[in-house]
Structure 1
């Protein structure tokens, strides 16, 4: 499981999460306008139906 922390969090709490999960900690991410590089577009039902027609 991937946990993304996009705002400030105490380092001991982040460390505790890292012991059990994959953690991406970027306290400036919430204010960044850069697109998420891991996001993948998923087709919706309506677009799938349109493509099949």
Structure 2
């Protein structure tokens, strides 16, 4: 349940991993990273954001 909460609810909706750590009561972000696998959709979104920023610089 904690893994699903961290990935499906929080990270998939743009909540930072630091805030997820606090929500889960973790004192160390490494524990949160155990639960929070990186979502492919999140990677794609970030890659598109970087592409857009770089395109605007040219």
Structure of larger gyration radius: 1
TM-score, structure 2 as length reference:
0.25
TM-score, structure 1 as length reference:
0.26
Structure with the largest fraction of strand: 1
